[in-house]
Amino acid sequence: MASTAAPPGAVGKSPPRPDGPAKVTGATRYVDDLALPGMWHGATVRCPYPAARLLRLDPAPALAADPEVVVLTARDLPGPNVIQLIADDWPVLAAERVNHACEPVALVAAPTRARALAAAARVVVEAEELPAVLTLDEALRGDPRAGGQQPLVLAACTVERGDVEAGLAGADLIIEGSYETGHQEHIYIETHGAIGIWHGEEAGLEVIGSLQCPYYVHKALVRLFGLPPERVRVRQAPTGGGFGGKEDFPNVICAHAALLSRRCGRPVKIVYDRHEDIIATTKRHPSRVRHRTGVRRDGTLVAQDIEVLLDGGAYVTLSPVVLSRAVLHAGGPYRCPNVRIRGRVLATNTPPNGAFRGFGAPQTQFAAERHMDRIARALGLDPLAIRERNAYRPGDVTPTGQRLDASTNALECLRAAAERTRFRERWRAIERERARGRPDDGQPWQGIGLALVWHGSGFTGDGERRLGARAGVRLLPGGRLEVLAASTDFGQGTSAVFCQLVADAAGVPLEQVQVHEPDTAAVPDSGPTVASRTVMIVGGVLQRAAAQLRARLLAFAAERAGLKAERLRLVGGQVLDPQDRVVASFAELADAYLAAGGEASWIAQHQPPPEIRFDEKTYQGTAYPAYGWCCDVVEVRVDPDTLAVRPERVTIAADVGRAIHPVLCAGQLEGGTLQALAWGYLEEIKLERGRYLNDRLQTYIIPTVLDTPDMETILIENPTPASPSGAKGVGELPMDCGAPAIVAAIENATGIAVHALPASPERLLEARRAGQVVQPQHAGA
Amino acid sequence: MSRAFRPRSLQEAVALLGDPELGAVPVAGCTDLMVLDHAMRRSHRAVVDLLGLAELRGIRWAEGGGSAGGPVVEIGAASTFSAIRADPLVRMHLPILAEAAATIGAWQIQNRATIGGNLANASPAADSAPVLLALDAELVLVGPAGERVVPYRSFHLGYRKTLLAPGELIARIRVPVPVPGTRQRFHKVGTRQAQAISKVVLAMCCRREPDGLLRGVRFGVGSVAPVPRRLRGAEQACEGRPAGAATAERAAAAAAAEVHPIDDVRSTAAYRREVLARLVRRMVLELAADAG
Amino acid sequence: MQEAIAVSDTVRFTVNGEPRCWQGEPMARLLDVLRYELGLTGTKEGCGEGECGACTVLLDGEPVCACLVPMLQCEGRAVQTIEGLGGADRLEPVQRAFVEAGGVQCGACTPGLVLTAWALLQREPRPDRARMREALAGNLCRCTGYERILRALEHTIAARQGGGAPAAGTGEATP
């Protein structure tokens, strides 16, 4: 048989994603597309007050109008009234005290969705309204839940390095600033949904949901129902977007659907409509960040004193972890010898805030980047110069004492984006134009702005060590391979990338690899699909498992052929001898191996190198195994009369370590960038008595394609040693960068300095009237 | 279950809608009605579908069709915004109406939403309303008492209140064809570039006489008052004056003084007032700029 | 007279070319009938108020939001849903381009976007980016940032011109 040339691997190419055809033909079945025999529908009864004592829940009117319906309250729970996450403060259903507007107090099930909703509306909720804490300022003044004299602190942490006071004392200049950001809603296009299927005490519970983290839900249900883990099964349905929003909240809606199913003895589906999804689910934490920075005249940072406040809403959810990431990124991608970052999450009587792409880092890096621009202006430096001077280089040490490795590409990203856009020249030209004065004739103002960020890939600190992610590969007849992982694909392309990594590591063609549905009854716990950890950490585990499979099969082939295993190679689905002759096809080898009773699954576990350690008490050590770096240059046009902002072009230069699938990788960067830009200038939630006013898609405004700039993505690949493939996380990185970049561009165009998001036309007008206007910089001209 | 009627003529529709026993609601493009029906989980005793009525369709030229005796473009009330933005008569003579139609919702909505529905729904933010005020349109209403013609400027009585009598419908919109040389301007400030409700929406129509003076100035504005309205003060500040900076500033100040916008989920009173003034100013300045 | 023009509770229309006879509440949403009665779940609900376009279907060839169309107004009309376009084994060029160019991520907006894009390309052979943006502005996508969706349309047009679609994976700049 003729020898075959080694086919190039799958990694680094952009093959069509395996779920693509089903999605473009409408064949993909999401939760609301599933109808199970005998299935009923659930609805939620909510209390309107931000803080209240529940007096009475009366289902009688609902039952009178429709005797078939089932109503369930906190009294009917089989186990602790707790949504399992970090703390035990979040109830499944409020029992006595209501801590935020629209908090669930009862559940209803009925044969149709319309009847369930009608019945829910008839359940009487009597409550006595209590004093509520609705904003960070009110929280600081004191929370009744904490005795009234002090805030209710949901989480706190501090990072310290060097001597901040000494650093400030020795600085040429101290620059201060305060920056604020508001809520952001995820607006995954598929709203939350879950189907609970109670199979009975013996057979246990099954839940199918739109979710990111099957094992989070599994753990929550095991606790709530008091069942042994093997009697709870959680399956992820195809999920229409997550962005972090389906990390924490599925624990709630899956519990609700499961409770109703157990009560009714039949499958029960709960799907929120958009309005309910917005009023009831978690948001990005609002923030207030204060900077006090000491600099030398040449722009060198000598001390950063930073205080981070996050509004956690009513319950702890994931706030301690969000705060941790917020604090660890708060200095920005800049070296500084003396740093102190103090962070707190305060409770308010607003719906709980939770996970959202970026996980606190977008908030603190918005502040850091706007503060860098403020420092630059104070020193007469341009935005590029101040960043070039301070950006981390390989070998620099972060505030946690982590020495940065060779894959530290802040400057590369900065320079790539700046050169591509001729940033310095154009930024200065616009500053000069503003200095000269422009005719007040309605002609649009152009602006260009830049931001530079870093984002840690993987869990913070020792999280990966504690988790010990497990994932693997199963060998199927015909030599097909199946990926076994609980990591979910909710749009990013996880499945496609897993197939590529496994195909190359196993030595089989891409078409031979498929991904098993994330199902706690069938796949090991590879951890939650969060924290930009999936490709880097879980991908690495899969590569190891696939390599073990390959070695085992080569050994088997060698035994059969009477050769030494190390003389055989598995390439492109063929076993080759040293003369490149085909010894066997992988398919026949696999069938023979399975027929001989060989093991069919290889499961590997993540083991971080022992030298990677993080002390969660002192916040010293390796905070993240790798960092992604990103620079955005945003070009805007601003209408001088309406202050309406049009982003026209965005250039994204991102260091992703290694792009396993360049098209999907760019897709993550571009999608995240738009979400970040929109958070920067468009998306806003106003509250009234603790309720969101922007509670539907007509009032919660996300960009249409007409609002969206052309995007160019520059992928910078400098592999990280932290993962076998060299890939770093890319999902969250762009979320940190877009908002400060567009606000900088608006400042360049208008001279208006906005320190709170969103930089809406209304806020720009308000800021201009308040005199928040910067002097044009023309010294360097 | 709702009873549904598909009348064969406008007369039948009016008879159905005028029957108090029936309690019927007229439906056309349904782009507002269905949203509310679903959100409020409400239903109707009876509905009368207007979409199929030939008398409510079509856009045509009518000589002497208006009260003033000149030619009009007559637009059937059930014309969709897709039909309006594509219509050659509208594009040639009423370019700001074509422009406004193109900013309403997006393609899907423009394919369904009708101009009559946009007016009868009586949102203060309706984007066709300022245009029809600036063009001084008339409405042909048909009801149990017969047909009457009313100037559009008197149609809105208060927040979501119109002078439509029970059972009465908007049948046609008559827009006087502007004399050659008439300048038309439209500017929508929405929450975003498409699928947006207006924060401020302004239309202007005027002539610039050979002597350089402005005549027949009409501003229509939406989203700054409980109803779409004219800016009489700004109009007076321009009427008979030369286009230019002084007139522009005066008109802008007058506009800011004569509206009483509110803070709401979409914008602020301060922003709306300021931006209205700036847009009035810009439109008057543009008249001077394209003097030629 | 009223009875003479009262609509019977039956609506006769076609869905993807198949004649259908439907009975029920005349103000029922076409969206619900397609999804929950005819089992055509490719049409998605994203907002229920005509903002997101996830429920886009073609009504006599024109894109509309199925959440805002009452069954009453479907009488005698032709409805086309995503299921009526191409199956997985015979994708339309624009569907294939969505997959290859990265225009698909989570998929929830995809059926609506594909139908709007297909309708645009049926009418206009070579829309430019500005025209594409205008036509697609009624379909919200939260995943892609839209860049790869625009490129999918550009690839479709390029392939139609006979040049062949640029291979997926191009379009990235290198530093």
B193 lies within 8 A of chain C by CB? yes
Please report residues of A whose CB lies closer than 8 A to that of B281.
641
DSSP A451-503: EEEEEEESSSTTHHHHH--EEEEEEEGGGEEEEE-----SSS-HHHHHHHHHH
Whole-angstrom distance, CA of residue C175 vs CA of residue C173: 7
**Predicted pLDDT at C171:** 40
Residue B51 has pLDDT above 80, yes or no: yes
C174 — pLDDT class (breaks 50, 70, 90): very low
In chain B, which residues have their Cβ closer than 8 Å to the Cβ of C5? Answer: 5-8, 12, 16
A90 CA: distance to closest CA in chain C (Å): 28
Task: Write the pLDDT tens digit of every residue in B215-260.
Answer: 999 999 999 999 999 999 999 999 999 999 999 999 999 999 999 9
Question: Is A347:A145 a contact under the CB 8 Å cutoff?
Answer: yes
- At A186 the pLDDT is 98
Q: How far is CA A312 from CA A323, A554, B28, B29, B58, in A?
A: 10, 54, 46, 43, 56
B281 Cα to chain A: minimum distance (Å): 9
Tokens encoding B130: 């300022």
Gap between the Cα atoms of A585 and A464, Å rounded: 38
What is the C-alpha to C-alpha distance for residues C102 and C99, in angstroms, rounded to an integer? Answer: 6
How many CA atoms lie less than 13 Å away from A186 in the CB half-sphere? 28
Whole-angstrom CA distances from A663 to A149, A493, A671, C168, C169 are 54, 10, 12, 7, 5
Please report, for chain A, the start and end positions of each structural domain, with discontinuous segments joined by +: 20-26+469-605, 34-130+186-280, 287-460+616-769
Contact B39 A275 (CB under 8 A): yes
Strands A40-47 and A268-271, how do they pair?
Answer: parallel
| pLDDT for position A2 | 40
Tell me whether residues C73 and B109 touch, CB distance under 8 A. Answer: no
| A708/C139 CB distance under 8 A | no
List, for residues B84-135, the tens digit of each pLDDT value. 999 999 999 999 999 999 999 999 999 999 999 999 999 999 999 999 999 9
Do C149 and C116 meet the contact criterion of CB atoms below 8 Å apart?
Answer: no
Contacts with A605 (C-beta within 8 Å, 6 or more apart), sequence order: A468, A469, A470, A541
Q: How far is B240 from chain C (nearest CA, A)?
A: 39
Q: Which residues pair with A197 in a beta bridge?
A: A206
Q: Which CATH number fits domain A287-460+616-769: 3.30.365.10, 2.40.170.20, 3.10.20.600, 3.40.50.12500?
A: 3.30.365.10
Tokens encoding A235? 């399956």
Which residues of chain A register pLDDT less than 70? 1-7, 779-781
Count interface pairs B-C at CB distance under 8 A.
115
Closest-CA distance, A451 to chain B, in angstroms, reads 24
Interface of B with A in 104-123 (CB under 8 A): 106
Three-class SS of residue A182? coil
Cβ(C116)–Cβ(C127) below 8 Å: no
DSSP reduced 3-state for A125: strand
All domains in chain C, ordered by first residue: 9-85 (3.10.20.30), 93-160 (1.10.150.120)
What are the tens digits of pLDDT across the range A473-512? 999 999 999 999 999 999 999 999 999 999 999 999 999 9
Cβ contacts of A241 on chain C, cutoff 8 Å: 105-106, 108, 142-143
pLDDT digits (tens, 9 = 90+) for A725-781: 999 999 999 999 999 999 999 999 999 999 999 999 999 999 999 999 999 997 543
State whether residue B195 is helix, strand or coil: coil
pLDDT at A340: 98
pLDDT digits (tens, 9 = 90+) for C31-49: 999 999 999 999 999 999 9
- B 173-232 → A contacts, CB under 8 A: 189, 191-197, 200
Q: Please tell me the distance in Å from C165's CA to the nearest CA on chain A.
A: 14
Closest by Cβ to B193, choosing from A117, A699, A707: A707
Count of positions (residues) in chain C: 175
DSSP alpha helix (H) spans, A25-77: 60-65
CATH number for the domain whose boundaries are A34-130+186-280: 3.30.365.10
**What topology does CATH give the domain A20-26+469-605?**
Aldehyde Oxidoreductase; domain 4 (3.30.365)
Asked whether the beta carbons of A31 and A195 are under 8 A apart, the reply is yes
Residue of A nearest to C173 (CA): A714
Q: Which residues of A touch B192 (CB under 8 A)?
A: 682, 701, 703-704, 706-707
Is B275 close to A706, i.e. CB distance below 8 A? no
Query: Measured between alpha carbons, how far is C102 from C144 in angstroms, rounded to an integer?
Result: 8
The predicted pLDDT at position C141 comes to 98
Helix pair angle (A539-561, A586-595), 10° resolution: 80
Do A761 and B285 make contact, defined as CB atoms within 8 angstroms? Answer: no
Of A329, A351, A319, residue with least CA distance to A156 = A319
Whole-number Å distance between alpha carbons of B75 and B89? 10
Tokens of B253: 């100040």
Residue C62, Cα to own-chain centre: how many angstroms?
10
Give chain B positions within 8 Å (CB) of A114: 41
Q: What is the pLDDT of residue C3?
A: 52
Place of tokens 């603190």: A364
Q: Which two tokens stand for residue A677?
A: 């830009």
- Give A762's contacts in chain B (Cβ within 8 Å): 267-268, 270-271
Among chain A residues, the shortest Cα distance to B245 is held by A441
| Residue recorded with tokens 């109803």 | B227
H helix runs in A633-735, sequence order: 662-681
Closest residue in B to A764 (Cα–Cα)? B271
What are the b/e assignments for A109-145, b being 16+ CB within 10 Å?
bbbebebbbbbbebbebebeebebbbbbebbeeebeb
pTM: 0.97
pLDDT of residue A565: 83
For CA atoms A733, A738, A743, A747, give the dihedral sign. positive
Q: How many CB atoms sit inside 10 A of residue B250's CB?
A: 19
What ipTM did this prediction achieve? 0.96
Facing B5 at nearest CB: one of C6, C62, C63? C6
**Cβ neighbours of residue A536 under 8 Å, at least 6 residues apart?**
A457, A458, A625, A626, A657, A720, A722, A723, A725, A727, A728, A729
Taking CA–CA distances from A763, the nearest residue in chain B reads B271
d(CA A691, CA A351): 8
Same CATH topology for A20-26+469-605 and A34-130+186-280: the answer is: yes
User: Is residue A112 within 8 angstroms of chain B, CB to CB?
Assistant: no
Distance from CA of B185 to the nearest CA of A (A): 14
The pLDDT, as a whole number, for residue C163 is 59
CA distances (Å), origin A357, targets A732, A733, B132:
5, 9, 46
User: Closest Cα of chain C to A557: distance in Å?
Assistant: 36
Half-sphere exposure of B7 (CA within 13 A, CB side): 26
Among residues B129, B60, B128, which one has the least CA distance to residue B90?
A: B60
**DSSP string of B201-265, one letter each residue:** EEEEEEEE-TTSBEEEEEEEEESSSSS-EE-HHHHHHHTTSBSSHHHHHHHHHHHHHH------S
Output the pLDDT for position C170.
36
Which pLDDT does position B291 carry in this prediction?
54
So what's the pLDDT on residue A471?
98
Distance CA A237, CA A436 (A): 59
Q: Which residues of B touch A442 (CB under 8 A)?
A: 282, 285-286
